[in-house]
Structure 1
Amino acid sequence: MPYTGDVTRGGPAATRALEHLSITKLSVGPMDNNAYLLRCGDDQVLIDAANDAPALLEVIGAAGLSAVLTTHRHGDHWQALAAVVEATGARSLAHTADAAEIPVVTGTLDDRDKVPVGDCELEVIHLVGHTPGSIALLYRDPSGHGHLWTGDSLFPGGVGNTQKDETRFRSLIDDVEHKLFDRLPDDTWFYPGHGKDSTLGAERPHLAEWRERGW
């Protein structure tokens, strides 16, 4: 079956194989969170140990894990973090501005930091608004288009929740527009913290509409 990014809570994981990197997407927990296992060579990292540690550890398997990257401080994105770190010995990394609210953080990240996954590399992009330390993670595929993990900062249909706070919304929509849409091409595929994937090209025509509506 070709990868579509459509997974359901409690259902099977979906894996996308790029030339150098494989991406396994799994939906876990009562809030239908997405967790992503990335593998390059013999190295694996997990984006958001959101919930259901046994399911995550089953997907991780015997290959182990070098790091867990948490996209932001909200608890639905790290319920399984402590258990996964304890079981695998992985590093736990999060943005400096959110790290104090996340258990078991062993190292911090800042904008434009690079995180290795074997011979592959993820670039940290700081997006302020959903939380002070929300991040996206970008893989620039040398053999294809970009791949972007956006946490709860960007979804198909809009940016993340800012609780009707106008200052936070302006910060988030500005960061998403200037750091993502202005920098990356339309074929960039993005993987959000909940729900289905999309591309920047599919969402780009709606940026002005999102800004106008205020969410």
Structure 2
Amino acid sequence: MTYSGQVTVGGPADVHELKDLMITKIAVGPMNNNAYLLRCRATDEQLLIDAANEAETLLGMIGDDGIASVVTTHRHGDHWQALAEVVAATGARTYAGRDDAEGIPVRTDVLVDDGDTIRVGRVELTARHLVGHTPGSIALVYDDPHGHPHVFTGDCLFPGGVGNTHKDPKAFASLIHDVETKIFDVLPDETWVYPGHGNDTSLGAERPQLPEWHARGW
């Protein structure tokens, strides 16, 4: 089946099968958060992005193989409600942006800085520090050697705009700058975008809207 990235709370997961990596997307309530399970096809090691909520749902998706690690994209509570339970059940190593870790009430084993590499089996993800939605938000970039890149943006980039900066002009200026210079300026239009809520998009679909985002200030 073709991956669409369209999932609903209580509905089935959707699986994006790449040559070296399997990406499973599921939505959990009550705030329609996306969680992503990455599985290295060579080693079967797994990594979870955002243990947002519904620990039972996430652990069912993870299955008996467990996870080696879980990455929290940022400190907002809707992205870590299930983190403690998932870590207790799996023993996973925890990752979070250095400047957001103090706001996550589960110990962060690895503090992540811009440009750091996070591995899942033989697959490498590059962390990009995007400031504005929170001080320490991180996106994860998988530069697929067999195709186009894939980027997990948390709440920093969605279809139609960057993340919420709560009408703070400085925060918006910071976030739009980081998203442009670290994502749009260095990745091609074919890059697939997996956001923290809602449907997926691509950089090519969003790039023409950048001037509008600047003009409106959000």
TM over 0.5: yes
1:80 aligns with 2:82: yes
CA distance in 2, matches of 1:29, 1:51: 7
Contact 1:93–1:107 (8 Å) recurs in 2? yes
CA contact (8 A) 1:81 1:103 kept: no
Matches within 5 A, 1:123-134: 123-134=126-137
Match of 2:154 among 151, 156, 159: 151
Shift of 1:181: 0.3
CA offsets 1:129-176 (integer angstroms, 9 cap, x no match) = 000000100001010000000000000000000000000000000100
The whole-number CA distance in structure 2 between the counterparts of 1:102 and 1:162 is 19
What are structure 2's unaligned runs of at least 5 residues? none
Contact 1:67 1:92 in 2 (8 A): yes
Letter in 1 for 2:62: I
The equivalent residue for 2:5 is 5
* 3-state SS in 2 of match to 1:62: coil
Between the two proteins, the alignment pairs up a number of residues equal to: 215
Structure 1 CA distance, aligned partners of 2:98 and 2:83?
17
Match of 2:59 in 1: 57
Q: Which amino acid aligns with 2:74?
A: H
| 1:133-144 mapped onto 2 (5 Å cutoff) | 133-144=136-147
Q: RMSD over aligned Cα, in angstroms?
A: 0.5
**1:141 and 1:147 in contact (8 A); partners too:** yes
TM-score norm. by structure 1 comes to 0.99
Letter paired with 2:174? S
Letter in 1 for 2:140: L
Ranges of 4+ aligned residues in structure 1 off by more than 4 Å: none
Which residue matches 1:204?
A: 207
Q: Where do 5+ consecutive residues of structure 1 fail to align?
A: none
Deviation at 1:107, TM superposition (A): 1.8
Calculate the TM-score normalised by the size of structure 2. 0.98
Number of the residue aligned with 1:189:
192
CA distance in structure 2 between the partners assigned to 1:124 and 1:176 by the alignment: 13
Q: Are the counterparts in 2 of residues 122 and 137 from structure 1 also a CA contact under 8 Å? A: yes
Q: Distance in 2 between matches of 1:63 and 1:142?
A: 26
| TM-aligned CA deviation for residue 127 of structure 1 | 0.2
Counterparts of 1:122 and 1:103 in 2: how far apart (Å)? Answer: 24
What amino acid sits opposite 1:193 in the alignment? Answer: G
Select 1:96's aligned residue among 88, 91, 98: 98
> Offset of 1:118 from its aligned partner?
0.4
Is 1:213 the counterpart of 2:216 in the alignment?
yes
Q: Distance in 2 between matches of 1:11 and 1:108?
A: 33
Aligned residue for 2:86, secondary structure, equals helix
Aligned mates of 2:109, 2:126 — CA distance in 1 = 19
Is residue 68–residue 90 contact of structure 1 (8 Å, CA) maintained in 2? yes
Give the fraction of aligned pairs with identical amino acids, expressed as a percent: 65
